[in-house]
Amino acid sequence: MRLATPILFAGLLALQSAAARAEPAPTGEMSPAYGTCMDAAGGVTHAMLDCIHAEIERQDAELNAIYGRAMENLAGLSDADVRREGLRNAERAWIAYRDATCAFLGTPFHLGTFESVLVADCVAQMTAERVRWLALHAFDPPLEFDLEPVRK
């Protein structure tokens, strides 16, 4: 019975992981390619970092696209200058916050190989969350979460 529980749990995780990869990730979430890459990395630090850095590039591109769209959207408002400056300042502060937060998360593993993995994954996760936040708060009205037009 004790052996059956971990095997059942592992099987459920594998099914969940496969199901997650079968559907495209909504904007503001980690991509299915990221999960596939991390599975294939097999816990090898260098391979995991390659996966994470590719995901950071994807998330950063989405963040830049949605930020640009938000700035364009705000340009048409009567208080455009104030709101665009506010968004610009918020993004700059958020980047500093993200970087400091992720660096802090890595401190228990200072100088270990896991530090770089933990910090990079934090950057990817927080950037994905910021994409979703911008979609909700930087548009008037908020964007829907089918953001394919944002990616163009």
Average pLDDT score over residue span 19-33: 61
Tell me what pLDDT residue 118 has: 93
Tell me what pLDDT residue 22 has: 36
Per-residue pLDDT band at 150 (split at 50, 70, 90): very low
**Rounded Cα distance, 88 and 72, in Å:** 12
Per-residue pLDDT band at 141 (split at 50, 70, 90): low
Domains of the chain: 25-151 (1.20.1270)
Per-residue pLDDT band at 26 (split at 50, 70, 90): low
CA 142, 102, 63, 26 torsion: positive or negative?
negative
| Among 32, 54, 72, residue whose Cα is nearest residue 123 | 54
Structure tokens at 67: 């930020």
Give the tens place of pLDDT for each residue, 95-126.
Answer: 999 999 999 998 887 778 889 999 999 999 99
Tell me what pLDDT residue 144 has: 58
